[in-house]
Amino acid sequence: MSEIQDQSDPQGARRSTLFRWLDSRTGLDAVMREALDEPIPGGARFAYVFGSALLFIFISQVITGVFLALYYVPSADHAHTTVAYITKAVTAGSFLRSIHAYGSSAMVILLLLHVTQTFLYGSYKGRRELLWLSGCILFVLVLCMAFTGYLLPWDQKAYFASAVGTNIASEVPIIGDWLKRFMRGGADMGTLTLSRFFVAHVLGVPAAIFAFVALHVYLFRKAGAAGPISEDPVAPKQRTEPFYPRQVIVDAAFALLIIALLASMAHFLPFDLGPQANPADTRYIPRPEWYYIPIFQWLKYWPGALSFVGIVVIPGIIAFLFASLPFLDRRMERRPWKRPIAVGTYVFVFLALFGLGYASYHSDHSDPGYAAQIVAQQRDTEEFMRKPFEPEVAQSTASLSVIPANSLVAQGAQIYQTQSCNACHGDGGVGTPAGPKLTGIHQRFSENHLSDVLRTPSAKMVAGGMAPIDLPPDTMKALVAYLESL
Ligand code: HEC
């Protein structure tokens, strides 16, 4: 804006020098006007808050997600222990993680409310087909975020729910097996699965969400706010009110309400973490997050050869009809009571989802063995949450049941067996009455010192029956590496 215009504008005179300095370089004033003066036919309303609330909660997810990523390591060995560390040891870690985890549910709820409002108000009508389609893509992307995020804590719940989720993909005809392997990074779930889900969760899907949010907002501004149900969606006639200040205040108040709700849930009901995933546990009953339960229940009705119909055909038809809604429903009528088919279908779909959710709850609680297992799983989770933080990585290398990662150490472990060291010192160096434990020996003996002691044992060791060990240097090195790893 030029200096002359500034002087003629009564507000311009009151604006600070800083604002004018910025405005002459960035066009800030015009940008703010474009953003804030959007006309809303019929005036500000509470019904319009859900779109901006979704944007707000998405930003909250990005910020809390960045903090979680500071500690999180996406590998089968470290994922669970790092999430346990965030939950139990990091300052405000449990709070931030809970905001992030509850935030994902909040996002799904807001998404459903936003779709409901758009649907009931007929706000998809009147040249808003692309706006609706970009919204459909955002819907799918948000569900992808929820799915990929669910695996990352690598606890029992996460592991088994995602095992089911990726198994479902293999039911897709022709490409099913490939799809499952693509998601898992192999036949089984492990570090490769985690890193794929992690990359999708923090890079791929968020990048797509940013792009589609920009497109969605652009298309929304281009079409203009649809206004109340009595309004003509193409050429609004009602008196308009600018977006700022009243709609901004209503939106901000709603955002504050959401963050207050999330913060109190995070504070009083911290989101839990179960014990580390144990793929060998065959009794575990997997359950997805609540918003996936109706779909989960639905799939149970399509066993064997029918699964193709239940997993691909019917959901495909529903998704197609949903996405093409603004192309199918061309009437300009927006009042819900004049659109019985549309509103009836909507109510039917919601009742069906609730019905499926209830059926799942009912079948979980009617079989006593099943119900007991679910209670036991909950108890394990609560027990794990009560325990103080312990790094699980060190624990797992101490037991011989896992193969040591390092090949020198693995070689040493074999020499330890062939030289019968375990006869007196026990498997894994835990000690027996015939010989002391060797775990933690690295704290007292350096590598050189240890190989010296083994070549020329002390009198006490000889007295205990331990013969001097003469091994080629390479073999000795491996044995020492193994002992130091205990
Ligand atoms: C016949 C039993 C026996 C066998 C076999 C044996 N040890 Fe020992 N080892 C002992 C006894 C007993 C001591 C403890 C002597 C003492 O009291 O200081 C000992 C001590 C040690 C120590 C020092 C521990 C410490 O804390 O000071 C090391 C290291 C060790 N053994 C390694 C080995 C290795 C490696 C092998 C296999 C190549 C082996 N031992 C085989 C009986 C045995």
Q: 464: helix, coil or strand?
A: coil
CA of 461 to the centre of ligand 1 (A): 6
Please report the pLDDT score of residue 251 as a whole number.
95
CA of 433 to the centre of ligand 1 (A): 11
- Long-range contacts of 88-93, Cβ-Cβ distance < 8 Å, separation of 24 or more: 88/388, 88/389, 89/389
- Ligand 1 pocket: which of 409, 417, 425, 482 to mutate (most atoms <8 Å of CB)? 425
The answer to whether the CB of 227 falls within 8 A of the CB of 40 is yes
Q: How confident is the model at residue 402 (pLDDT cuts 50, 70, 90)?
A: very low
Q: How confident is the model at residue 428 (pLDDT cuts 50, 70, 90)?
A: confident
The answer to whether the CB of 185 falls within 8 A of the CB of 166 is no
- Ligand 1 pocket: which of 422, 424, 452, 477 to mutate (most atoms <8 Å of CB)? 424
- Domains, the chain: 1-36 (no CATH), 43-385 (1.20.810.10), 399-485 (1.10.760.10)
Q: Which of 25-29, 137-141, 471-475 has the lowest mean pLDDT?
A: 471-475
Ligand 1 nearest atom to the CA of residue 465, by list position:
1
Please report the pLDDT score of residue 406 as a whole number.
65
Please report how the helices 28-36 and 17-26 are oriented relative to each other, as an axis angle in degrees rounded to 10.
90
CA atoms of 271 and 338, how far apart (whole Å): 44
Angle at 84 between CA 80 and CA 86, to 5 degrees: 120
**Per this entry, what is the length of the chain?**
486
The answer to whether the CB of 131 falls within 8 A of the CB of 219 is yes
Ligand 1 nearest atom to the CA of residue 441, by list position:
26
CA of 477 to the centre of ligand 1 (A): 17
Residue 39, beta-bridge partner list: 242
CA atoms of 403 and 412, how far apart (whole Å): 12
Q: Given a cut of 50, is residue 396 above it in pLDDT?
A: no
Query: What stretches of 27-78 show up as alpha helix (H) in DSSP?
Result: 28-36, 49-69
Of all residues in the chain, the percent with pLDDT exceeding 90 is 48
DSSP letter, residue 305: G
For residue range 251-279, list pLDDT tens digits in order: 999 999 999 999 999 999 999 999 999 88
Q: 292: phi > 0 → left, psi -120 to 50 → alpha, else beta; which?
A: alpha
CA atoms of 407 and 445, how far apart (whole Å): 22
- Ligand 1 pocket: which of 411, 430, 458, 466 to mutate (most atoms <8 Å of CB)? 466
Please report the pLDDT score of residue 11 as a whole number.
57
**From atom 17 of ligand 1, which residue's Cα is the shortest distance away?**
460
Please report the pLDDT score of residue 2 as a whole number.
44
**From atom 20 of ligand 1, which residue's Cα is the shortest distance away?**
461
Please report how the helices 49-69 and 93-120 are oriented relative to each other, as an axis angle in degrees rounded to 10.
160
The answer to whether the CB of 127 falls within 8 A of the CB of 191 is no
For residue range 46-99, list pLDDT tens digits in order: 889 999 999 999 999 999 999 999 999 999 999 999 999 999 999 999 999 999
In this structure, which amino acid lies at residue 401? S
Q: Please compute the mean of the pLDDT values over residues 162-179 and round it to a whole number.
A: 87
CA atoms of 54 and 214, how far apart (whole Å): 13
CA atoms of 152 and 104, how far apart (whole Å): 14
CA of 316 to the centre of ligand 1 (A): 67
Query: What is the SS3 assignment for 153-217?
Result: CCEHHHHHHHHHHHHHHCCCCCCHHHHHHHHHCCCCCCHHHHHHHHHHHHHHHHHHHHHHHHHHH
CA of 436 to the centre of ligand 1 (A): 7
Return the higher-pLDDT residue of 470 and 155. Answer: 155
**From atom 7 of ligand 1, which residue's Cα is the shortest distance away?**
466
**From atom 33 of ligand 1, which residue's Cα is the shortest distance away?**
421
CA of 410 to the centre of ligand 1 (A): 20
**From atom 15 of ligand 1, which residue's Cα is the shortest distance away?**
461
CA of 474 to the centre of ligand 1 (A): 20
Q: What is the dihedral of CA 12, 18, 24, 30, to 10 degrees?
A: -60
Q: Which residues line ligand 1 (CB under 6 A)?
A: 419-421, 423-425, 434-436, 438, 441, 450, 453-454, 458, 460-461, 464-466, 469, 479, 483
CA of 274 to the centre of ligand 1 (A): 40
Q: How confident is the model at residue 105 (pLDDT cuts 50, 70, 90)?
A: very high
